A = this chain, B = another copy of it.
């Protein structure tokens, strides 16, 4: 049994690799929901959907989010009203949010609704939100101290502006979603996917109880660095690490993850830093970590499993 801590795109590719080398039934993903946004009255869970769509081979492979072959008639019509079209929602993708919102309004928990959606896509892995409660990752911009929602920073500003600080609104009142703590405690292996340490893995760890549960499994926790040769493959993780006072390298990741991870997979490009990672008390494993396609995702998944032996 493998439990994976997951954000969006990088985690989705890692999970696709894992379910190609072990039975999907043996994999549980605990997914960040700090990026969730309520827009047009709809509850949108970008990381949950990216994981689901990727595992269902339905993701748009070019943009890395949303559905392949999507149509945009609703957004085009919304432009007529001067509506909020900065967060692009395809017509078929809208159905996911319509369903989620309707079920939540009926009193279902986000975990149950997520399970219904994942099963409807024919997936056999288990996908859990980190919490059923509403947690909002909020970003204070360096320029003028304005605090904005994560998607306003990430999509609205295309994550191109410096960040002063990050907080997870509502996290103190949040509890791990049903099944999360058990999945961590019962797993043979806990994998921290190559997602943004601050705003993807960070919110999951900040849900009261989850960090302690993972740290209790430290010997069985393998993380994959999302930073390669000082840069993030996608998104603002590298700049964000610098802006928030961390080292923008595998060393910075090792320092952040040392309290709960015994092993860190770093890319071959960072082989020179293996000794420094080890000095932080984290065992480095040097492998190719870039997931370009199904084959490289599977190879990384095999490397993750091999790291345990």
Contact = CB atoms under 8 A, between A and B. Distances in A.
Interface string A114-134: 001100110000000000000
Q: How extensive is the interface on chain A, given as a class?
A: 35 or more
A93 B74 CA distance: 7
Count of this chain's copies in the oligomeric assembly: 2
Contacts of A71: 71, 73, 91
A80 interface: yes
Contacts of A95: 74-78, 80-81, 83
Contacts of A98: 40-42, 74, 78, 83
Given A41-B42, A101-B41, A96 B77 contact: yes
- Chain B CB within 10 A, most for which of A80, A94, A105: A94
A117 B81 CA distance: 6
A75 B73 CA distance: 13
A76 B73 CA distance: 14
A78 B95 CA distance: 5
Interface of A: 38-43, 71, 73-78, 80-84, 91-99, 101-102, 104-105, 116-117, 120-121
29 contacts: A39-B102, A40-B97, A40-B98, A41-B42, A41-B104, A42-B42, A42-B98, A42-B101, A71-B71, A73-B73, A73-B91, A74-B74, A74-B92, A74-B98, A77-B94, A77-B95, A78-B98, A78-B99, A80-B95, A81-B95, A81-B96, A81-B99, A81-B116, A81-B117, A83-B99, A84-B102, A91-B91, A91-B94, A94-B94
